[in-house]
């Protein structure tokens, strides 16, 4: 019988809108085809113009590069301006935080995450969490061989 994941009874999380995950430190917001299409439409831009204006290619495993949003010089997300300026069109990675595969590898990783909303607020069921994981698996990030 397979071992149940540590989140089998669900996990509590409610975003406090502190913006710490959007600011202050370098990082990547990887984009899917759907993300780019939604963001470009929200900003009334073509797909290619959106990529030229707001994206960069970053190194990834296996000699590939992945498409990520740019950052400002202070490491804020390019769309952070007293809050997320594209909140209704934000990328999948942002929408499903903190229910990323890397955050759900173990209870220790989850418990040591530096986010004020984790462990508090709404109880997300195992079914909800696995739905987020499935959605991420079904929408791969845009990549190319470098």
pLDDT in tens, 48-82: 999 999 999 999 888 899 999 999 999 999 999 99
Residue 92's pLDDT is 97
Q: Is the pLDDT of residue 1 over 80?
A: no
- Give the alpha-carbon dihedral of 103, 79, 35, 52, to 10 degrees: -120
pLDDT of residue 7: 97
pLDDT tens profile 82-136:
999 999 999 999 999 999 999 999 999 999 998 999 999 999 999 999 999 999 9
Q: What gap in Å lies between CA 101 and CA 73, rounded to an integer?
A: 28
Question: What confidence tier does 47 reach under pLDDT thresholds 50, 70, 90?
Answer: very high
Q: Whole-angstrom Cα distance, residue 143 to residue 146?
A: 9
Residue burial 87-120, b: 16+ Cβ < 10 Å; e: rest: eebbbbbbebbbbeeebbeeeeebeeeebebbee
Asked whether 13 and 119 are in contact (CB, 8 A), the reply is yes
- The predicted model gives 8-17 an average pLDDT of 94
């Amino acid at each position: 019988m397979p071992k149940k994941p540590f989140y089998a009874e669900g996990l509590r999380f409610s975003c406090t809108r502190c913006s710490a995950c959007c600011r202050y430190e370098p990082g990547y917001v990887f984009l899917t085809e759907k993300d780019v299409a939604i963001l470009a439409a929200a900003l009334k831009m073509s797909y290619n113009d959106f990529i030229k204006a707001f994206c960069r290619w970053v190194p990834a495993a296996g000699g590939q590069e992945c498409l990520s949003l740019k950052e400002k010089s202070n490491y804020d997300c390019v769309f952070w301006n007293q809050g997320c300026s594209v909140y209704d069109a934000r990328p999948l990675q942002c929408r499903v935080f903190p229910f990323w595969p890397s955050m759900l590898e173990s209870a220790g990783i989850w418990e040591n995450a530096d986010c004020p909303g984790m462990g508090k607020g709404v109880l997300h069921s195992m079914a909800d969490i696995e739905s987020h994981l499935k959605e991420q698996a079904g929408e791969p990030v845009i990549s190319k061989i470098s």
